[in-house]
Chain A
């Protein structure tokens, strides 16, 4: 095997630590990831999962309770407002009410949560998930050292100082708290179904569609979300019309349909909304979005 020249090796050595995040970058990252975790907990977990997940965040035991199954694009439309409420200013009643929850216009700035572009485009490799341990390694930061299972954060002893929420005011929610515990029966099954879908390998058609269009689609949906958040349902509907034409065979069609229903519910055309809602829950009975749509528009 050809080795690198001493000069090339020296370059690698000189650059070795230059790709690490700075302490400041780590802090910013911690804050962002906390938001993601809270968002997912609010929008996509089972009856007790949401509250347990959030209190878990506060107490430092997160993931056991967190079943994250929503694409962030979905959460972006449906959950960001709720996440903001819970993370920054706990108001359980606001989160609990289907009519005044995430969809209600909080006159503030748009959701700080970015809609993730590649979320749906990426599926972790099943091979890597099932891979087994192989040859030993000689480096302290290599895979092998991670396999020891007790490896501390490399070169960063103060690993996640900002991980715990800055605000100690996170509610120590109990599973019976009404906040997000009002998930109807069947939500678990719907979430499990979503989880199963997340495990499927990428479809060829999806790959052909291209990640760029998925990114654009997700950004479009984020714009719809902003319009909804800021109390402009007509604008949301106009955006949705435009996006329906543009992404005719798009990946986020169910999310757009749900957003359309929510826009109608937030607007004046309640009767039409109920019709749309009925149609949506018939077409997407297993979707957790159906749960929200039912609640938002008061149908069974």
Chain B
């Protein structure tokens, strides 16, 4: 099923008004929402609740989505707010958003060794990302994991491209520092 209606007819016929479908949005963006919440620091135990929160907001605000072309950045705007909200709540309760490695399993990794390695990598990555500010983390994750361009990020988070680059620079620097600190604390593996 086509997930979205056309906004402009290519052959110049009258454009059909865009009517976003909740089900299609859910189908197309569920995994994106889930992993972005995780990458923005919502812990595994809370990510299902946060995902539901995102889709409740999407559901309520469907009429405000004007075109399929901006669907993902529109969804991302909601994801970012929900993530921020969940993290703020965690912080207020004095809870850590750090990941418990035991809760992480990638179904795609059939091999136990691979799974373990990935779990450790995710847990370490999450810990290091925790040392960044929310804004730095957001930009770094969108660039390095979602592989968005700076221009796309600027558009998605409603800022200008110079700000994105500034945040990215700071994020990379701080991430490297956190990684160096982690190395210094962790004994070399044999």
A136-191 residues with Cβ-Cβ distance < 8 A to B are 136-139, 141-144, 146-147, 149-151, 153-156, 159-160, 163
Given that A32-B52, A129-B66, A163-B27 are contacting pairs, would A20 and B106 also be in contact in the complex, using a CB cutoff of 8 Å? yes
Given that A18-B118, A37-B22, A138-B147 are contacting pairs, would A66 and B30 also be in contact in the complex, using a CB cutoff of 8 Å? no
B100-157 residues with Cβ-Cβ distance < 8 A to A are 104-109, 117-119, 121-122, 124-125, 128, 144-149, 151-152, 154-157
Q: Which residues from A are CB-within-8-Å of B53?
A: 116-119, 122
Q: Could you say which interface size class chain A belongs to?
A: 35 or more
A115-139 residues with Cβ-Cβ distance < 8 A to B are 116-119, 121-139
B15 contacts the other chain (CB 8 A): no
Given that A128-B70, A139-B146, A198-B61 are contacting pairs, would A64 and B106 also be in contact in the complex, using a CB cutoff of 8 Å? no
Q: Which residues from A are CB-within-8-Å of B108?
A: 17, 20, 155
Checking A62, A69, A119, A129 against B23 with a beta-carbon cut-off of 8 angstroms, the contacting residue is A62
CB of B167 to closest CB in A, whole Å: 12
Given that A21-B35, A131-B73, A195-B63 are contacting pairs, would A122 and B3 also be in contact in the complex, using a CB cutoff of 8 Å? no
Let me know if A128 and B35 touch, CB within 8 A: no
- The number of A-B residue pairs with CB atoms under 8 Å apart is 274
> Interface code B64-75, partner A: CB below 8 Å = 1, 0 otherwise?
111011111110
A107 contacts the other chain (CB 8 A): no
Q: Could you say which interface size class chain B belongs to?
A: 35 or more
B89 contacts the other chain (CB 8 A): yes
- Taken together as a complex, chains A and B put the C-alpha atoms of A125 and B82 apart, in Å, by 12
CB of B169 to closest CB in A, whole Å: 6
Let me know if B146 and A114 touch, CB within 8 A: no
- Taken together as a complex, chains A and B put the C-alpha atoms of A121 and B89 apart, in Å, by 13
Let me know if B105 and A64 touch, CB within 8 A: no
Checking A2, A61, A142, A211 against B173 with a beta-carbon cut-off of 8 angstroms, the contacting residue is A2
Q: Which residues from A are CB-within-8-Å of B146?
A: 139, 141-143
- In the complex, what residue of chain B is closest to A14 when comparing beta carbons? B121
CB of B124 to closest CB in A, whole Å: 6
Checking B21, B59, B155 against A40 with a beta-carbon cut-off of 8 angstroms, the contacting residue is B59
Which of A22-30, A243-251, A253-261 forms contacts with chain B? A22-30
A232 contacts the other chain (CB 8 A): no
- In the complex, what residue of chain A is closest to B19 when comparing beta carbons? A64
Which of A5-13, A80-88, A220-228 forms contacts with chain B? A5-13
* Chain B interface mostly: helix
CB of A159 to closest CB in B, whole Å: 5
Let me know if B59 and A8 touch, CB within 8 A: no
B179 contacts the other chain (CB 8 A): yes
Q: Which residues from B are CB-within-8-Å of A21?
A: 30-31, 34-35, 47, 51
CB of B118 to closest CB in A, whole Å: 5
Q: Which residues from B are CB-within-8-Å of A300?
A: none
Checking B26, B89, B109, B158 against A160 with a beta-carbon cut-off of 8 angstroms, the contacting residue is B26
Let me know if B64 and A124 touch, CB within 8 A: yes
Let me know if B118 and A14 touch, CB within 8 A: yes
Let me know if A141 and B147 touch, CB within 8 A: yes
CB of A144 to closest CB in B, whole Å: 7
Q: Which residues from B are CB-within-8-Å of A153?
A: 27-28, 30-31
Checking B31, B128, B158 against A154 with a beta-carbon cut-off of 8 angstroms, the contacting residue is B31
Which residues of B approach A to under 8 Å, CB–CB? 1-4, 19-28, 30-32, 34-35, 38-39, 47-49, 51-53, 55-57, 59-66, 68-74, 76-78, 81-82, 85-86, 88-89, 92, 104-109, 117-119, 121-122, 124-125, 128, 144-149, 151-152, 154-158, 165, 168-169, 172-173, 175-176, 179
Question: Could you name 30 residue pairs across A and B whose Cβ atoms are closer than 8 Å?
Answer: A1-B168, A3-B172, A4-B144, A8-B176, A14-B125, A18-B119, A18-B125, A21-B51, A36-B55, A63-B23, A66-B22, A119-B56, A124-B77, A128-B70, A129-B77, A131-B155, A133-B69, A134-B154, A135-B151, A136-B149, A137-B148, A137-B152, A143-B72, A147-B68, A147-B69, A147-B70, A149-B4, A149-B68, A154-B31, A155-B108
